[in-house]
Structure 1
Amino acid sequence: MVSTPVAGRRPPPRANRPAARPARRPPARPTPRRPARRTSRGRALGPLVLVAVLLAAVAPFWREEEGTPSVLAGCTVPGTDVAVTTEQAANAATIAAVARSRGLPPRATVIALATAQQESRLRNLDYGDRDSLGLFQQRPSQGWGSEAQVQDPVYSAGKFFDGLVEVPGWETGRLTEVAQAVQRSGYPEAYQQWEPMASALSGALLATSPSALACGAEPGAGPATVADRTAVVTEAARREAGAPTVEADGTVSIAGAGWPEATWAVAHAERFGLTGIEMDGWRWTPAAGWESTPSTFELPLRLRLA
């Protein structure tokens, strides 16, 4: 019997044919890998990293105050973070010397150093607010002295101490209040921040042993000739350290001087152009600092200029 297709029905599908294979493509050649591009952030950080490395390298030789040089051309107080230029050290040593010459206690030196640090950063300035000048920014118009006088560190330190000893209770009073009573500054609290620094520096300048103040000096600093240096040394010693004597070989000796005077000489070594300092079995040179030399037990402080 022949079957008749039913209306509306689709014929049965044909048998499925196998799917045609896709055409083979040749294997892709490997593309050379390009180096990864740096991001803009990476490019920006590159110079910063370099700067950071350079700063880390020079950090031990940098100081806070306006381009202070390395320890090789400056002074430090061992065991503390106090570091000053040779100019600052010399001025601090002069202030301490004036206090010693007046028989004032160490507290006077501390107060004076903190005051000078705040007023001038221990530099003998030839400018200031209105007519203020010198280490303590004293004003000639206010009766401190002439312009030349207030720019003389010995004179200006003496004038500060004249005012200091007139302040009631200055020996035990709060440093910034005592300093303000002398200076009458527009920033009366500013002196207090320098007390730790001034205490450490004063202790080094008044110490009775070597190496309390470690200083170096730039080669060739100071006056050019030995005669000129001798004149500078003898005049400064006469005013700040004691009676000087110039020996036949050009060495300047200071009889009766002790370790504070020897440290004074170290602080001024660059200004004087000293090549060596000898004191009680010790010798100081700009390159090596203090070294024990038992063969040279000489009590007079001796300053060598050649």
Structure 2
Amino acid sequence: MSEPVPSSLPGRPGRRGRRARIAAALAVLVALVAYVVVQYVTSGRGVPQCTVGSGSRTYTLTPEQASNAATISAVGTTRGMPERAVTIALATALQESALRNIRHGDRDSLGLFQQRPSQGWGTRKEILDPVVSASRFYEHLAEVPGYSRLPLTVAAQRVQRSGYPQAYAKHEPDATLLAAALTGRSEASLTCTAGSAPRAAGDPAKVRAELVRSFGAGVLPRDRGAGGAEIPVPVTVAAESAGPEGAVGSARRGWELAQWAVAQADELGIEEVAYGDRVWSAGESDEGWRERPAADPASGGEVRIRVAR
């Protein structure tokens, strides 16, 4: 019968002591890694993100949120809805889904606005399509008498029938910033950083298709299927863009299209967006909208979108 091995010998550390030191070293290492990650993320480096506004009044959102917000805005203006309607829609989506196209919710609620198939909002597939769900929201909002003059909470509640109608109010400031940028009233006020990951290649045909889905068939010339990586989008004011606030000016329309493209850059693999004398590039996205060198004098007549290759 062998004798028990002593837990420690004179002059040699015991197993418990070694384990404690190893555990302490690992804890320090984990804490150091966590600190570096937090600093990297909070500094905005390496993580794609979008910002709207300027100075002390800004709002930061993810590329997914920016893409959905841009779609909601484009669908609204294409239907001839005023900026106030876009603000109401964005505040509603911020409350209902945080501008994420979620596939779950209370009972059978789905999508950006948490619409329910059982309540006549459409099929599951339709509701999970941001263009369709936004269109359905605006259809119902347009039926609310004097919605643009109502408090946002009242207008949104007339459409949503939420159990927490006052919750929409807290999102009004951020929705107002987003609506001003995405409808083109606040120019060059939405920008996105591309992060450190390699840029995924974009598909020009998909970009064209999304432009048409969001802004209608008149947004591109009839030969929109032709061409390469660069997509010129004419800045024209379509008749359906004239709503209660009057026709959208050419410059405002241009910035609406340009900032839509930047908001969709991560989703669609867009490398560069240029309008007028300003340009946004994924490779230099930390600089935001930059002065465009040697801008074509006629460049105010179109937005140029170039996809990554």
**Band the TM-score falls in, shorter-chain normalisation:** 0.7 to 0.9
The answer (yes or no) to whether the contact 1:73–1:215 under 8 Å persists in 2 is yes
How far apart are residue 186 of structure 1 and its match? Answer: 1.4
TM-score (norm 1): 0.73
CA distance in 2, matches of 1:59, 1:168: 49
Match of 2:264 among 263, 268, 274: 268
Matched, 1:240 2:214: yes
What is the RMSD computed on CA atoms of the aligned residues? 2.7
Give the secondary structure class of the aligned counterpart of 1:136.
coil
Partner of 1:58: 39
Q: Could you tell me whether the CA contact under 8 Å between 1:124 and 1:135 is conserved in 2?
A: yes
Query: How many residues end up aligned between the 2 structures?
Result: 249
8 Å Cα contact 2:205-2:225 kept in structure 1: no
For residue 136 of structure 1, report the CA deviation from its aligned partner.
0.3
Deviation at 1:188, TM superposition (A): 1.5
The answer for unaligned runs of 5 or more in structure 1 is 1-46, 63-68
Matches within 5 A, 1:154-233: 154-208=131-185, 210-218=187-195, 219-220=197-198, 222=200, 224=201, 226=202, 229-233=203-207
Report how far residue 249 of structure 1 moved.
3.6
* Counterpart contact for 1:247–1:253, Cα < 8 Å: no
Give the 3 Å change call, closer, same or farther, for CA 118–221 of structure 1 in structure 2.
Answer: farther
CA distance in 1: counterparts of 2:88 and 2:98, whole angstroms: 14
1:74 paired residue among 49, 65, 76: 49
Change in CA separation of 1:185 and 1:209 when aligned onto 2, cut-off 3 Å: closer
Q: Given the alignment of the two structures, is residue 117 of structure 1 paired with residue 94 of structure 2, yes or no?
A: yes
* TM-score of the two chains, using structure 2 as the length reference: 0.73
Moved more, 69-78 or 294-303: 69-78
Instruction: Return 233-242 or 112-121, whichever deviates more.
Output: 233-242
Q: Distance in 2 between matches of 1:70 and 1:183?
A: 38
What is the Cα deviation at residue 281 of structure 1?
A: 2.7
Asked whether the equivalents of residues 65 and 98 of structure 2 are also in contact (C-alpha less than 8 Å), the reply is yes
Cα deviations by residue, 1:224-268 (Å, 9 ceiling, x for unpaired): 4x5xx2222011011124226355442122122511110000100
Identity of aligned residues (%): 42
Separation in 1, partners of 2:137, 2:84? 14
99-108 or 287-296, which deviates more: 287-296
Structure 2: gaps of 5 or more residues: 1-27, 237-253
Structure 1 runs (4+) greater than 3 angstroms displaced:
53-60, 69-72, 218-222, 246-249
Q: Do structure 1's residue 139 and structure 2's residue 116 form an aligned pair?
A: yes
Post-superposition offset of 1:209: 5.9
Report how far residue 168 of structure 1 moved.
2.1
